[in-house]
Amino acid sequence: VDASIGGKNGVNHNGFKNIIGTFCLPEFVRINTAFLETLPVRELRNGISELLKTFIIGNRAAYSEAVTEFGHSENISGISWVQYISMAAGIKSQIVENDFRDGGERKKLNLGHSFGHAIERCAAAENVDISHGEAVSMGIVIAARLSEKMGIASSGTAGRIEKDFASCGLVTKPAFGMEMLQDALRNDKKRNGDSLDFVFIRDIGDVSVRKIRLEDIRL
């Protein structure tokens, strides 16, 4: 859904996510949905979190369709995974083709990840079991709330995303308080000085990367 596409190979170091790495494309990527049948539901939900992230970035209709299917599916393994994974791969490939080295548009793919990584850092420090997909779904909800608060998204956008995510079984309530998360953001090695590139949601299917000062992040 995400990491297999775009040739980013990162490793964690000293408690920081993907802080060292290379850009190197694979010869091919295979989508093998039979493999998904071997995964526990929690892992499938991690995938759903990244799928919905990609649709919020670039395809409103796919987002609505996916939420309807994931939210109403009695059995998560009965979902038409190939269709959604291919759509997400297409959106991501397009973005990566325009900005392979991550200088601009590719940063959109970090939607939910500033707070997501902060949540993962807090979870590691507090010994709490939170998966990457769970941290990302919480991070997207925070990004949506911040976008709404700053007048970038229209009123109701965050509420809709929160409701949709919950209906798909995703975690939406931030696991840590804002003060703790802000401290973790301050320790984010990828930020520039007092500000960071943050992915705001303008609408479902439309995001924008803007610099925000840490002190202006208030919810």
Site residues for ligand GLY per CB under 6 A = 2-3, 6, 8, 102, 106, 109
CB closer to ligand GLY, 112 vs 148 = 112
Q: Which is nearer to ligand GLY, 24 or 34 (CB)?
A: 24
The least CB distance from residue 116 to ligand GLY, in Å, is: 11
Q: What is the Cα–Cα distance from 126 to 129, expressed in whole angstroms? A: 9
Q: Which residue number is nearest to ligand GLY in terms of Cβ?
A: 109
CB 76 within 8 A of CB 198: no
To ligand GLY, the closest distance from the beta carbon of 78 in angstroms equals 28
If the CB atoms of residues 88 and 144 are measured against ligand GLY, the closer one turns out to be: 88
Q: At closest approach, how far in Å is the CB of 94 from ligand GLY?
A: 13
The first and second tokens of residue 59, run together, are 């395809």
Nearer to ligand GLY, 71 or 90 (CB): 90
Nearest approach in angstroms of CB 154 to ligand GLY is: 26
Whole-number minimum distance, CB 102 to ligand GLY, in Å?
6
Q: Which is nearer to ligand GLY, 2 or 162 (CB)?
A: 2
